[in-house]
Structure 1
Amino acid sequence: MRTSAKTTRRQNIRYRIRTKISGSAQKPRLSVFRSNADIYVQLIDDVSAVTIASASSRDKDIKAQTGTKSEKSKLVGQAIARKAKDLGIETVVFDRGGNLYHGRVKAVADGAREGGLQF
Structure 2
Amino acid sequence: MSKKVSDKIQSRMRRKGHIRKNVAGTPERPRLVVYRSLNHIYAQLVDDLNNKTLTTASDLSPEVKSQIKKDSTKTDKSSMVGELIAHKALEKKIKRVVFDRGGFKYHGRIKTLADAARNAGLEF
Provide TM-score, normalisation by structure 2.
0.92
Cα separation, 2, equivalents of 1:63 and 1:85:
21
> Which stretches of structure 1, 4 residues or more, deviate above 6 A after TM superposition?
none
Task: Please give the secondary structure, in 2, of the residue aligned with 1:4.
Answer: helix
- Mark the runs of 5 or more structure 2 residues left unpaired by the alignment: none
Q: Residue 77 of structure 1 aligns with which residue? A: 82
Q: Residue 30 of structure 1 aligns with which residue? A: 32
Cα separation, 2, equivalents of 1:33 and 1:113:
18
Cα separation, 1, equivalents of 2:56 and 2:28:
16
Cα separation, 1, equivalents of 2:121 and 2:63:
20
Amino acid at match of 2:60: R
**Offset of 1:61 from its aligned partner?**
2.6
Task: Please give the secondary structure, in 2, of the residue aligned with 1:70.
Answer: helix
Cα separation, 2, equivalents of 1:56 and 1:79:
8
Q: Deviations over 1:43-92 (max 9, x none)?
A: 00000010000000101231231210001100000000000000000100
Q: Which moved more, 1:63-72 or 1:82-91?
A: 63-72
Match for residue 97 of structure 2 among 80, 92, 95: 92
Cα separation, 2, equivalents of 1:27 and 1:56:
21
- Mark the runs of 5 or more structure 1 residues left unpaired by the alignment: none
Q: CA RMSD in A?
A: 1.2
Report how many aligned residue pairs link the two structures: 119
Task: Please give the secondary structure, in 1, of the residue aligned with 2:102.
Answer: coil
Provide TM-score, normalisation by structure 1.
0.96
